[in-house]
Chain A
């Protein structure tokens, strides 16, 4: 697959001043709200350690917990399926829908279904898929993937949404009032929910002890999708399992505070078994997760609870937007997860980072994100997928910097170039530094020269 060009996409995003200003400010506000919420809980750092510990315990015993989850879910009357990859997930979902003659599927947000490209698969087979989450619906109608895992259309201004809705929902293209647009989507979606033969949700947490799943939304669209149609399908990444109900105390306290700075989502919904006369199906999906579990440096990313806090704090993400990462997961977590799906395609992502470490600080489950980013760079280089700097150039640098005489000659040349070359030579399209920045002045002498003149050499 072609390599995602984060730089090119970010350049275009930055060129649109209105959009980048709003995007950066809005997500910084979410970061600020997260700080306030987290700092209002004295035990926050302890909760992070507990959350991390619970996840690491579960992941290191995952097969056992999945079996317990399946056992309990089955006892509750849920039909449990297992999908080793995206294709199998889509096939299973399609089979369930077909066997119920379902033609319309309403669903709440699920990054896993995006990962599996389920919508395209089902639509190609004649099934209408309706995203009920406002942000997801905007993106679906605009034929774009979600730009952020919590606020999927955060990169859009109200005028953009007005444009999309006017073409698809028949709203007034000149009316960008947010209440008007939201009401239009509510009105358009309600009948679709009522007429749907099936509803689908994702899963934030799968509790082994109860055999049930927890889904967190602010709109209540998971509750609508699951409680109105007679068929509920839940797509569940195998890493979502936690051992006991009581562990939800830790995770639910942290999820929305990390994501949006609010103590809890408006709806925290727990699905354990079907209603009378209805059916509930769980599809447990691997799609590379068990392979990732075997990666000594990278299995920690399986702890992720999809809060988006890392995206909100990331200065690169805020200035380039999720779409520039070219995958379902973006920002810091995207940089460490996506290369497991396709190293070549996502080889630029670990370099779309200054490794400043803010993401690691806000992660509720203590994923060492910026350290994994550093380690991914080594892998990308090893596999000869370095996007910019040629390996050969690094070899040369490695040689020059390891030999004092070569090093001193290179420094002298650099200083001379800066001092002597005309401005046009330095500031040209090939000099990335000079595009938007002034180059530092060349000093009269290097430190070493000064030292030799002014101090006794030792």
Chain B
């Protein structure tokens, strides 16, 4: 008998009395205004909120915030950067990226999270090899809580998806908080309404 069949048989042989599956409510009564809540929780997770520059020049804002950045790899039309993600073939190529620029599909106010998949990244490693990440988020894309997030069909359209809540972090050594443990050292969100759907 294959291990597969042996395991399945062993499980069925346990003959546990079937338990009913409970219904899960949306727990969304009285949720606070999404944008305000997102800013709060996002900051709590170590994220940085940067207002849209008055002149609309996000490239300039990025260059000003990351003075030493040599490689700015953009996956969004609003930012030119120094490299387009469309030119990247292999995930390893992104190891020299100082700042990656992405647009999440949606965000979650409850947890301060932005959602990205290979549709938004095009090359997934952009979110993790970049030293810093900047996300252009349409405030209309912020939803209330995780229950709403996990009812979205976006998960079914993606091979890889992440709820990213702030930069890479750890407190593994003496509880001291480190930002930029393995992945990005910072995550900045700029509110930028979508021009393209």
Which A residues fall within an 8 A CB radius of B? 22, 26, 29, 43, 49-50, 53-54, 56-63, 66-67, 76-77, 82-84, 88, 132-135, 138, 151-154, 156-158, 161, 178-179, 181-182, 186, 189-190, 194, 210, 212, 218-221, 223-224, 226-228, 238, 243, 245-250, 252-253, 260, 262-275, 284, 286, 290-291, 293-294, 299
A391: min CB distance to chain B, Å:
31
CB distance B159 to A219 under 8 Å? no
A67 touches B8 (CB 8 A): yes
Could you mark each residue 1-22 of chain B with 1 if its beta carbon is under 8 Å from any beta carbon of chain A, else 0?
0111011101111111111111
Which B36-53 residues have a C-beta within 8 angstroms of A?
41, 44-46
Task: Confirm or deny: B147 has a beta carbon within 8 angstroms of a beta carbon on chain A.
Answer: yes
- Give the residue name and chain of the A residue nearest to B187 (CB): A266
Q: Is B95 an interface residue (CB 8 A)?
A: yes
Expressed in whole angstroms, the minimum distance between the Cβ of A249 and any Cβ of chain B is 4
Q: Is the CB of A275 within 8 A of B160?
A: yes
Knowing A88-B3, A134-B181, A263-B111, the reply to whether A219 touches B175 (Cβ < 8 A) is no
Inter-subunit contact B180/A269 (CB<8 Å) = no
Indicate if the CB atoms of A50 and B45 lie closer than 8 Å: no
Q: How far is the CA of A293 from the CA of B167 in the complex (A)?
A: 39
Is B164 close to A, CB under 8 A?
A: yes
Q: Are B7 and A84 touching (Cβ within 8 A)? A: yes
Taken together as a complex, chains A and B put the C-alpha atoms of A62 and B16 apart, in Å, by 10
- Point out the residues of chain A lying under 8 angstroms from B21, CB to CB: 53-54, 57-58, 243
Whether B184 is near chain A, meaning CB under 8 Å from some CB there, is: yes
- Cβ 8 A contact of A286, one of B7, B19, B151: B7
Whether B159 lies near A151 (C-beta < 8 A) is no
Q: Within the complex, which residue of B19, B127, B159 is in contact with A57, where a contact is CB–CB below 8 Å?
A: B19
A286 and B10 form a contact (CB under 8 A): yes
Task: Please report B residues at the A interface, Cβ cutoff 8 Å.
Answer: 2-4, 6-8, 10-22, 24, 27, 41, 44-46, 91-92, 95, 110-113, 118, 124-125, 127-129, 145-147, 149-151, 155-156, 158-176, 178, 180-184
A contact residues around B162 at 8 Å (CB): 223, 267-270
- A249-B10 contact, Cβ under 8 Å, with A218-B169, A271-B160, A272-B160: no
CB-contact partner of B27 in A29, A43, A132, A219, under 8 A:
A43
The 3 closest A-B pairs by CB, nearest first: A220-B183, A135-B172, A290-B10
> Are A219 and B173 within 8 A (Cβ)?
no
23 A-B residue pairings within 8 Å (CB atoms): A26-B174, A53-B20, A57-B22, A67-B8, A88-B3, A133-B170, A133-B172, A134-B181, A153-B172, A179-B178, A186-B181, A186-B182, A219-B169, A223-B124, A224-B183, A226-B160, A245-B150, A247-B24, A249-B145, A266-B164, A266-B169, A269-B161, A275-B124
A266–B164 alpha-carbon span in the complex (Å): 6
Decide: A272 and B182 in contact? CB cutoff 8 A.
Answer: no
The answer to whether A134 and B4 touch across the interface, beta carbons within 8 angstroms, is no
Q: Are A290 and B173 in contact (CB-based, < 8 A)?
A: no
Q: For residue A38, give the distance in angstroms from its CB to the closest CB of chain B.
A: 14
Q: Are B159 and A63 in contact (CB under 8 A)?
A: no
**How far apart sit A154 and B77, CA to CA, in the bound complex (Å)?**
44
Q: Which residues of B contact A250 (CB under 8 A)?
A: 24
Contact B159 A274 (CB under 8 A): yes
A116–chain B nearest beta-carbon distance, Å: 14
With A264-B111, A266-B45 given, is the CB distance from A178 to B178 under 8 Å?
yes
Q: In the bound complex, do residue B165 and residue A194 qualify as a contact, i.e. CB atoms below 8 Å apart? A: no
Chain A residues with CB below 8 A from B166, complex form? 266
Contacts of B118 on A, CB cut-off 8 Å?
275
Are A63 and B8 neighbours in the complex by a CB distance under 8 Å? yes
Kindly report which residue of chain B lies nearest to residue A186, judged by CB atoms: B182
| B residues less than 8 Å from A243 (CB atoms) | 21
Q: Which residue of A lies closest to B167 (CB)?
A: A266
- For residue B178, which residue of chain A has the nearest CB? A182
Q: How far is the CA of A223 from the CA of B15 in the complex (A)?
A: 38
Residues of B within 8 A of A59 (CB): 16, 19
Query: Is B168 touching A219 in the complex (CB atoms < 8 A)?
Result: yes
Cβ contacts under 8 Å, A253 to chain B: 110, 145-147
CB–CB A83/B3 < 8 A? yes
B181 in contact with A249 (CB, 8 Å): no
A61–B8 Cα distance when bound, in Å, is 11
CA distance A67 to B5 in the complex (A): 10
Within the assembled complex, what's the spacing in Å between the Cα atoms of A189 and B183? 11
Q: In the bound complex, do residue A82 and residue B18 qualify as a contact, i.e. CB atoms below 8 Å apart?
A: no
Cα distance A162–B150 when bound, in Å?
A: 42
Whether B127 contacts A249 by the Cβ 8 Å rule is: no
Q: Of A82, A153, A249, A266, which is in contact with the most chain B CB atoms at under 10 Å from its CB?
A: A266
CB contacts (< 8 Å) of A88 on chain B: these are 3
CB distance from B32 to the nearest CB of A (A): 12
Check if A264 sits within 8 Å of B163, measured CB to CB.
yes
Return chain B residues, CB-CB under 8 Å to A178.
Answer: 173-174, 176, 178
Known A266-B45, A267-B164; contact A220-B11, beta-carbon cutoff 8 A: no
The answer to whether B11 and A194 have CB atoms under 8 Å apart is: no
Contact A263:B7 (CB < 8 A) given known A224-B128, A272-B160, A275-B118: no
